[in-house]
């Protein structure tokens, strides 16, 4: 019986990349038989968020977003990472058998440094805590975006290192990507990976004027509409792909490629994108707003979600402690 597990950092409001790369997969996976664990990675977010009030708000924001998008507490444990403190101990056990070299190769760490984020030791060891998150529940399927595949591979390595020394304690997980490649890595407004911490993201429930403003920032060039262009080179088209039906998309692509009189300008495409996105999220946005009105209820739901998760993590930690001689 498979165990699905994944997480998201409350490092800001969830964006389109989080939705297409992760949240949607998580909600869809509830229809597959198995155990389902999804969590809000608040320990992880402490590497970037340094104020208590923002962290609490962000956690509720993510919870309300998931519930609004169909996360069902009757079929999944949906919880806060820090409500299962056992993962920090598992993370220590893994850290003792993980070479520095493994962590030094992490793309996500290198990307964050390149984006001007000052690293703490916690940011550097992030993949170890993430491995603990995965291994703590005997997870077998980890639905993530492309940027996290390397971290899941590192988790496999850490599990193997530990098991080689101490016996079969941890279960080896596999990453699962969205079927569509454009959803596995959604570009940001500037064309690089959309990230909460890069200032290039679009909040998935953005609407009205702020949405138009955000979409206005998608990077374009100064070529005239009439000039024929390769639609696959335009970040704007990557965004349109996420929301438009096939027929409409092919029509825009053909007109961009042909150029001339009937070719759309970038402004025109941006208006269409804003409209399609606004409409796509209209129903869950309303639900999200309603849920955000009752923070105490959100907190209660998260605590309830942690119960089964913690039960499982306690068992796995016991197994690990026993195997390495702590008991």
User: Dihedral of the CA atoms 205, 208, 210, 212 (nearest 10)?
Assistant: 110
Active-site choice (110, 118, 185, 196):
196
Taking the C-alpha atoms of residue 226 and residue 64, their distance in angstroms, rounded to an integer, is: 44
**Helices 107-114 and 126-135, axial angle in degrees (round to 10):** 140
Q: Clarify whether 315 is annotated catalytic.
A: no
Write down the least CB distance from residue 201 to ligand ATP, Å: 7
Q: Which of these ranges, 143-151, 159-167, 277-285, 290-298, lies near ligand ATP under the rule CB under 6 A?
A: 143-151
Does residue 209 carry a catalytic annotation? no
Catalytic site residue from 112, 185, 241, 270:
112
* Min dist. Cβ of residue 196 to ligand ATP (A): 4
Single residue of 3, 4, 5, 17 touching ligand ATP by CB under 6 A: 17
Q: Does 194 contact ligand ATP by CB under 6 A?
A: yes
Choose which of 4, 5, 13, 22 interacts with ligand ATP (CB under 6 A): 22
Tell me the C-alpha distance between 289 and 272, whole Å. 25
72 known ligand binder: no
Judged by CB under 6 A, the residue of 3, 125, 195, 200 near ligand ATP is: 195
| CA 42 remoteness from chain centre | 13
Q: Which residue is closest to ligand ATP by CB?
A: 21
Question: With binding defined as CB under 6 A, does residue 127 bind ligand ATP?
Answer: no
Annotated ligand binding at 146? The verdict is: yes
When asked if residue 155 is in the footprint of ligand ATP (CB under 6 A), the reply is: no
Query: Which lies closer to ligand ATP via its Cβ, residue 145 or residue 305?
Result: 145
In the sheet that holds 77-80, the strands lie side by side as 77-80, 35-40, 3-8, 141-143, 174-176
Span interacting with ligand ATP, options 99-107, 140-148, 249-257, 265-273, rule CB under 6 A:
140-148
- Pick from 5, 90, 128, 186 the residue near ligand ATP by CB under 6 A: 186
- From 3, 4, 8, 200, residue interacting with ligand ATP (rule: CB under 6 A): 8
Q: Closest CB to ligand ATP among 120 and 226?
A: 120
Going by DSSP bridges, is the β-strand pair 77-80/35-40 parallel, antiparallel, or unpaired? parallel
The residues with which 40 forms a beta bridge, in sequence order, are: 8, 80
Between 184 and 302, name the residue whose CB sits nearer to ligand ATP. 184
Q: Could you say which of 5, 68, 136, 144 contacts ligand ATP (CB under 6 A)?
A: 144
- 267 belongs to an annotated ligand binding site: no
Per CB under 6 A, 58 contacts ligand ATP: no
**Is 147 labelled as part of a ligand binding site?**
yes
- Applying CB under 6 A, which of residues 11, 77, 91, 139 lies at the interface with ligand ATP? 11
Q: Tell me if 305 is assigned to a ligand binding site.
A: no
- Using CB under 6 A as the binding rule, whether residue 129 contacts ligand ATP is answered as no
Q: Which residues 196-215 are close enough to bind ligand ATP by CB under 6 A?
A: 196-197
Distances (CA, A) of 70 to 29, 66, 73, 75, 163: 11, 6, 9, 11, 37
Query: Is residue 112 flagged as an active site residue?
Result: yes
Q: Which residues are catalytic?
A: 112, 193, 196
Instruction: Name the residues that contact ligand ATP, by CB under 6 A.
Output: 6, 8-9, 11, 17-18, 20-22, 48, 144-145, 147-148, 184-186, 193-197
Q: Which residues fall in the annotated binding site for L-tryptophan? A: 133
């Amino acid at each position: 019986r498979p165990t699905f597990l994944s997480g998201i950092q409350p490092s800001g409001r969830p964006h389109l990349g989080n939705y297409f790369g992760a949240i949607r997969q998580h909600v869809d996976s509830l229809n597959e038989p198995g155990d389902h664990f999804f969590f809000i990675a608040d320990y992880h977010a402490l590497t970037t968020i340094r104020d208590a009030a923002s962290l609490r708000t962000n956690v509720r924001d993510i919870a309300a977003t998931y519930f609004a998008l169909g996360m069902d507490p009757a079929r999944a444990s949906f919880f806060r990472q820090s409500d299962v403190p056992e993962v920090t101990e598992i993370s220590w056990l893994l850290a003792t058998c993980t070479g520095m070299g493994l962590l030094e190769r992490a793309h996500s760490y290198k990307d964050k440094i390149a984006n001007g984020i000052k690293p703490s030791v916690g940011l550097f060891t992030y993949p170890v805590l993430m491995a603990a998150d995965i291994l703590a529940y005997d997870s077998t399927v980890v639905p993530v975006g492309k940027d996290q595949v390397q971290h899941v591979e590192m988790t496999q390595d850490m599990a193997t290192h530990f098991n080689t020394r101490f016996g079969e304690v941890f279960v080896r997980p596999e990453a699962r990507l969205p079927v569509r490649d454009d959803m596995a890595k959604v570009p940001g407004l500037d064309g690089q990976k959309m990230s909460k911490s890069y200032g290039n993201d679009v909040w998935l429930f953005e609407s009205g004027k702020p949405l138009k403003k955000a979409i206005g920032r998608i990077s374009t060039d100064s070529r005239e509409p009439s000039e024929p262009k390769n639609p696959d080179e335009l970040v704007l088209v990557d965004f349109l792909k996420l929301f438009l039906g096939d027929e409409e998309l092919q029509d825009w692509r053909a007109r961009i490629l042909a150029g001339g009189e009937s070719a759309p300008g970038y402004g025109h495409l941006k208006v269409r994108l804003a409209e399609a996105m606004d409409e796509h999220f209209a129903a869950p946005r309303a639900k999200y707003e309603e849920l955000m009105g009752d923070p105490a209820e959100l907190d209660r739901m998260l605590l309830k979600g942690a119960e089964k998760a913690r039960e499982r993590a306690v068992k796995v930690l016991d197994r690990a402690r026993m195997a390495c001689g702590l008991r």
